[in-house]
Structure 1
Amino acid sequence: MRLSTLILPILRWHSGGRARWQRAEELGFSTAYTYDHLSWRTFRDGPWFGALPTLTAAAAATDRLRLGTLVTSPNFRHPVTLAKELITLDDVSGGRMTLGIGAGGSGFDATALGQQPWPVRERTERFGEFVPLLDTLLTQDTTSYAGTYYAAHEVRTIPGCVQRPRLPFAVAATGPRGMRLAARYGQAWVTTGDPRTSATGTAADSLAAVRTQVDRLAEAGAAVGRDTAAMEKVLLAGFTPDRPLDSLDAFVDFAGRHAALGFTEIVLHWPVPDSVFAADERVFERIAVEAPAQLAG
């Protein structure tokens, strides 16, 4: 079981931002992710910096820590320009980049470029084009493609990623088509749990719902000819009824129950005071330092 963190891009780089990413490395986190949004929910009217420039700066400020988005989506990204930026970031980081990728939603990002939010069906169809095209762009030198939503004309992506054949995809998905994309293209699958249990369900309800998601991933894998039992499975914590940051024991119990379902990585939000991610930072750091050994034991 790996333990990672998610750092919201809300701090100025020279006023705490750089120090936070460096502290994540000091604490031994496997990966430090950030959201790839233009703004997010209750943080909309405060500072919010771009994900890929932030990760590039973090790559230069750290040596061992893996870095990633959790998640990037088609809401305001195009596969061609995204591929070029990812290749650059993978190069700057020395091959430490993971792309978390999802279909996106109907939040602030969905209308920022002036369009109406895409219906669910269109988001799903776009995601179905976006992921394979991005995979192609990152694994071959020249790409031409004409699809329903995206196109690429003689696009050069030389020299490609440091990681071969490309940087890993961690695909966030819960629906059938997204699960099949995860099984076909993902080195990892990501979930936040089942939103139907987050508000009114219990921890047991959430665990049962997540178990069902894992089973559906296995079915999706079978449909594309892949055994997903050994596939990396990532849980972004903070959206289930559990309270894993209450104490070290609470986290170890939470992580252990999900490890039994096959999860290989838990991602904890770095505490943000006076927000939905508020938590005792001393407990958070104790979990980072002590929990991996307990889980290994």
Structure 2
Amino acid sequence: MRYGVLILPDRRWAESKRRWVRAEQLGFDHAWTYDHLMWRWLRDKPWFGAVPTLAAAASATSRIRLGTMVASPTFRHPVTFAKELMALDDLSEGRITCGLGAGAGVYDDEAAGGKSPTPRERSDRFAEFVDLTDRLLRSPTTSYEGRYFSAHEVRMYPGCVQRPRLPFAVAATGPRGMRVAAEHGDLWVTAGEAGNFERQPYEQLVPLFRKQTAALGRACEAAGRDPASIGRVLLTGGMVDGTVESADSFFHAADLYAEIGFTDMVVHWPREEFPYEGREEIMEEIATRFPAKEA
């Protein structure tokens, strides 16, 4: 099991930098941030962009993997986003993972000046977004004509540090999204039921995640892929509650979900207030029980 932390982009960098650096010092394997224009509970609070935040984090750290959790086509275009990802991969010397999702709708949709797509349109747009982003990052030159996105002889030099491209972590819960994850994902991400932020104890959600991992396995088999070849990431802190109440609960949850096939578990860096309120000291307690890192 690999362990990750999600750090909200809600502080000025002079303050936020400490958390990214400390996450690396404590031994977390990866650190993520949300990619939104504004975010449900913090619409009237400070909120910074994911790409420049990750660029700063890349310059402030040297080992920990960094990523978006998750970028969506709501306000991103594959051509411009692929250029930004290539630059982030270079800045981090190959430590970027791109988390991708269909988008939750409402807030970012409204902020970007458009109406929310239907569920079918959202799924179709997401599949096209991931496909074109994948092609751009793999190829030096790409042309593409789709329903939602197009590209004309886009040059991507020098390409990613990571080959054939930086890893994709695809968030999905439904059949269409699972298919996208099976076809393009190096990792699959779930946080529970899509759009459900009603907290439930992590122990009670094991049946749900068993069903989801089984569905991912079927999607991989349908795509002609070995289900064991894709990592499985559990994002806790929203629907999945109780993982950072103590170091014991953290490792109990990790062991429980490792048994059903998860390879990575991500928790939110505790905040002083809602959402994700908690004791920052718990991160220090958790870190004392991490396995020793190889030199």
Which of the five TM-score ranges fits, normalised by the shorter chain? over 0.9
Supply the distance in 2 between the matched residues of 1:179 and 1:273 (Cα, whole angstroms).
Answer: 35
Q: Which runs of 5+ in 2 are unaligned?
A: none
State how 1:113-262 maps to structure 2 within 5 Å: 113-194=112-193, 199=198, 203-262=202-261
Q: Helix, strand or coil: the match of 2:253? A: helix
The match for 1:263 is: 262
Confirm whether residue 8 of structure 1 aligns to residue 8 of structure 2.
Answer: yes
Query: Do the aligned partners of residues 248 and 160 (structure 1) sit closer, same or farther apart at CA in structure 2, a change above 3 Å counting?
Result: same
Q: Identity of paired residues, percent?
A: 52
What is the one-letter code of the residue matched to 1:209?
Answer: L
Q: Helix, strand or coil: the match of 2:288? A: helix
Query: Do the aligned partners of residues 241 and 140 (structure 1) sit closer, same or farther apart at CA in structure 2, a change above 3 Å counting?
Result: closer
The match for 1:82 is: 81
Greater displacement, 157-166 / 272-281? 272-281
Q: Note if contact 1:197-1:206 (Cα within 8 Å) is conserved in structure 2.
A: no
Cα deviation, residue 293, structure 1: 3.2
Cα deviation, residue 110, structure 1: 1.3
Q: Helix, strand or coil: the match of 1:278? A: coil
The alignment's TM-score, normalised by the length of structure 1, stands at 0.94
Query: Do the aligned partners of residues 203 and 49 (structure 1) sit closer, same or farther apart at CA in structure 2, a change above 3 Å counting?
Result: closer
Q: Which runs of 5+ in 1 are unaligned?
A: none
Supply the distance in 2 between the matched residues of 1:169 and 1:124 (Cα, whole angstroms).
Answer: 17
Deviation digits for residues 111-136 of structure 1 (CA, Å, limit 9, x no counterpart):
21211111111110001111111110
State how 1:56-75 maps to structure 2 within 5 Å: 56-75=55-74
The match for 1:49 is: 48
Supply the distance in 1 between the matched residues of 2:198 and 2:71 (Cα, whole angstroms).
Answer: 25
Q: Helix, strand or coil: the match of 2:111? A: coil
Name the Cα RMSD after superposition: 1.6
Cα deviation, residue 43, structure 1: 1.1
Supply the distance in 1 between the matched residues of 2:196 and 2:81 (Cα, whole angstroms).
Answer: 34
Query: Do the aligned partners of residues 147 and 24 (structure 1) sit closer, same or farther apart at CA in structure 2, a change above 3 Å counting?
Result: same
Supply the distance in 2 between the matched residues of 1:197 and 1:75 (Cα, whole angstroms).
Answer: 19
Supply the distance in 2 between the matched residues of 1:55 and 1:98 (Cα, whole angstroms).
Answer: 11
Supply the distance in 2 between the matched residues of 1:6 and 1:62 (Cα, whole angstroms).
Answer: 15
What is the one-letter code of the residue matched to 2:192?
Answer: G
Cα deviation, residue 204, structure 1: 4.4
What is the one-letter code of the residue matched to 2:230?
Answer: M
Q: Note if contact 1:7-1:32 (Cα within 8 Å) is conserved in structure 2.
A: yes
Supply the distance in 2 between the matched residues of 1:105 and 1:214 (Cα, whole angstroms).
Answer: 21
Query: Do the aligned partners of residues 241 and 65 (structure 1) sit closer, same or farther apart at CA in structure 2, a change above 3 Å counting?
Result: closer
Supply the distance in 2 between the matched residues of 1:109 and 1:218 (Cα, whole angstroms).
Answer: 31
Supply the distance in 2 between the matched residues of 1:71 and 1:127 (Cα, whole angstroms).
Answer: 12
Cα deviation, residue 201, structure 1: 5.4
The size of the alignment, in residue pairs, is: 292
State how 1:83-98 maps to structure 2 within 5 Å: 83-98=82-97
